[in-house]
Amino acid sequence: MAYEALDFYDIDSLLSDEERMVRDMVRDWVDEKVIPNIEEACRDGVFPDEWRVDLGEMGILGAPLKGYGCPGLSYIAYGLICQELERGDSGVRSFASVQGSLAMYPIWDFGSEEQKNHYLPRMATGEWVGCFGLTEPDYGSNPGDMITRAEDKGDHYLLNGAKMWITNGTIADLAVVWAKLDGVIRGFIVEKGDPGFTAPEMTGKHSLKASVTSELVFQDCRIPKDRILPDVKGLKGPFSCLNNARFGISWGAVGAAQSCFNSAKEYALSRIQFDHPIASFQLVQNKLAWMLREITKAQLLAYHLGQKKDDGTWIPEHISLAKMNNVDIALEIARMARDIHGANGILDEYPVMRHMANLESVKTYEGTHDIHNLILGRHITGIQAFTREFTE
Amino acid sequence: MTIAVLLKQVPDTTSKISVSGGRVDESAVSKWSMSPYDEYALESALQLKESGGGDVVAITCGPARAAKMLTDAAAVGADSLLHVLVEDLNALDSTQVQAILAAAVSHCSAQVVFCGKQAADTNAGSTGPGVAHLMGASCVTMVSEVASEGDSFTAMRASSGGDQRVAVSAPCLFAFDKGTTELRRPNVRGIMMAKKKVAETLGASDLGVDTSASSVSVDSHSPPPEKPPGQRFEGVDSVAVVVSKLRDEANVI
């Protein structure tokens, strides 16, 4: 059966032809390449290299960036790409988010002309994979106190420190790494093979199993002077990248929720208990109605946020609300879908438990659910509640 | 060289077809797609263009919704688009459709035509040979690939005795079967280019084709009969019955 995306309020009619065509292209690719192979990729714990090649060939990496070989699509088109990729698997969307929003974006926005010309065209085609090093083992929600340091050694920079939970790290050709230079957070481009740089893979994940997660280790890592991102200082650099990635996640979560909803609906219609399909029972209908209601609200949030991104009237708190809400309801929908599937819900024949396990990560990365609440709390009250030290 | 590719928009092969009031209910079709054999014709035309130059014009005859399929063709590389707008294709007989398409091909000054061997909805298979007849063109059916050298073309086609290589010269028409060719996927660049390719839209009368009197009318559609329910056997006692049914009725053991 052809995939029929839940679109109760006909968001489709609000899209441009171009946005719809891009969405359909990615949707078809996910149906053809991701869904038939995702369970094997998860079992093997690999991100198939073929997917990297295909994403590059489709031309969707760094979707909203313009120039330097980048696609220059609308933010709504970028959102739709994330939605379709995450309908397949959060790990596939993570690859694209990190490549586009976390690795290409800082080079595009804060890099020198030479850096942009050198890195962006090859990253847009997927030839070079990028990763983003901000989080450290002891500094997750609190990246401002990071330990990783850069020293100016005259003709080069010397990096020391370690990053953790880095998507794409081991397979990356370059890493955008945030480190303190004279106490100020700066961005550096570290390339695979730079002396003193290693990226061992983290293993044992129960979530995002088809996505590569790594540590980045810098031990007297020497990089040339022209690898610093010249145009940004402080947390503004990494946070502006995260805004774009979080925007994509708010759409991606809708895709995962749509996948769970479809699976639950079909299962409920075909599963017979007490001589009737379980979809005919009120408790099951109540669950399906709740899913439809929350997905529809999430779609409207994502779409309106996309319009605000495209016309430049957004603030970071808008993104916090959408990321937090949409991942939250997607996770709840995945759990509820697993419930409707009964024991079958734990099998890899159905996508629901995989989405559920993935979304546990998505709820935590790119600003945890609680941190986004604190961002909104600060917005409402004007009082920051991240730390007990009352300094801004 | 202009290669005309004839495309038909049909219910996607994964869509559920329902019949209501003796007619296929088109409003219930969830997804419309390019007919699969036409996709092979388009892919082969694009490959021929890439190897030998020329341009590809995608032609369809159908209702307004078929415009999307032409844009999809533009996104993978069709250079220009011609839409002969016919709101109810089912009201025409195959001769009329062939006359429209042959006139459209002539309108584009194309001497070479690629199409699918049959449409996935009607499965009639008459369009290719019919258009070739009206054009006075050579017609090769069940084609898997086409190569060109100057004005001459060689087509590979499967036959019961093995593959045949057929040589023809323009004007000619090739009706494609599913070959081993891998279909290209659109990309963002193609989609953005497609935005700039506006289809020329004509009516049948603009092409001088009279569509007033169809010589064939379809009385009704009906869904295929439902499969009879399977038989269930339980318990050791039924083994002999099952064996005899498999041996004497199903003839499988």
Per-residue pLDDT reduced to its tens digit, A151-182: 999 999 999 999 999 999 999 999 999 999 99
From the CA of A73, how many Å to the nearest CA of chain B? 8
For B30, which residue in chain A has the nearest alpha carbon? Answer: A4
Say if the Cβ atoms of B72 and A18 lie within 8 Å: no
Q: What percent of chain A has pLDDT over 70?
A: 99
The type of residue at B123 is N
pLDDT of A1 reads 63
- Do B38 and B113 touch, CB atoms closer than 8 A? no
For residue A116, give both structure tokens. 């942009």
Cα distance between residue B133 and residue B175, in whole Å: 13
pLDDT tens string A348-384: 999 999 999 999 999 999 999 999 999 999 999 999 9
Q: Considering only CB atoms, which chain A residues are within 8 Å of B191?
A: 18, 21-22, 25
pLDDT of B251 reads 86
Q: Considering only CB atoms, which chain B residues are within 8 Å of A58?
A: 185-188
Cα distance between residue A101 and residue A151, in whole Å: 27
Tell me which CATH code domain B2-248 carries: 3.40.50.620
For residue A188, give both structure tokens. 């550096």
Q: What are phi and psi of B35, to 5 degrees?
A: -55, 130
Report the residue count for chain A.
392
Q: Which residues of chain B have pLDDT under 50?
A: none
For B68, which residue in chain A has the nearest alpha carbon? Answer: A17
- Which residue in the block uniquely carries the two structure tokens 């190897």? B51
Interface of A with B (CB under 8 A): 1-2, 4, 17-18, 21-22, 25, 28-29, 54, 57-60, 63, 71-73
Mean pLDDT of A122-148: 97
For chain B, the domains span: 2-248
Q: Which of A39, A366, A389, A392 is catalytic?
A: A366
- Do A238 and A311 touch, CB atoms closer than 8 A? no
Query: Sorting pLDDT into bands at 50, 70 and 90, what band is A390?
Result: low
pLDDT of B53 reads 82
Q: Considering only CB atoms, which chain B residues are within 8 Å of A1?
A: 14, 16
From the CA of A23, how many Å to the nearest CA of chain B? 10
pLDDT of B194 reads 93
> Which of B16, B191, B192, B193 is most worth mutating to test chain A (most A CB atoms within 10 A of its CB)?
B191
Alpha-carbon torsion (B175, B162, B48, A56), positive or negative:
positive
pLDDT tens string A22-75: 999 999 999 999 999 999 999 999 999 999 999 999 999 999 999 999 999 999
A-B C-beta contacts closer than 8 Å: 47
Interface of B with A (CB under 8 A): 12, 14-16, 30-31, 68, 71-72, 75, 185-189, 191-192, 194-195
pLDDT tens string A1-22: 678 899 999 999 999 999 999 9
Say if the Cβ atoms of A57 and B192 lie within 8 Å: no
Asked about A201 being catalytic, the answer comes back as no
Q: Which of A2, A54, A72 sits opposite B15 (nearest CB)?
A: A2
- Do B10 and B33 touch, CB atoms closer than 8 A? yes
Query: How far out from the chain centre does Cα A70 lie?
Result: 19
Query: Sorting pLDDT into bands at 50, 70 and 90, what band is A391?
Result: low
Q: Considering only CB atoms, which chain B residues are within 8 Å of A65?
A: none
Q: Enumerate helices (H) and strands (E) in chain B, giving the number of each.
A: 6, 13
Say if the Cβ atoms of A58 and B188 lie within 8 Å: yes
Cα distance between residue B189 and residue B196, in whole Å: 12
Identify the weakest region by mean pLDDT among A224-238, A307-321, B117-131, B216-230.
Answer: B216-230
- Do A23 and B191 touch, CB atoms closer than 8 A? no
Closest among A274, A246, A248, A278 to A345, alpha carbons compared: A278
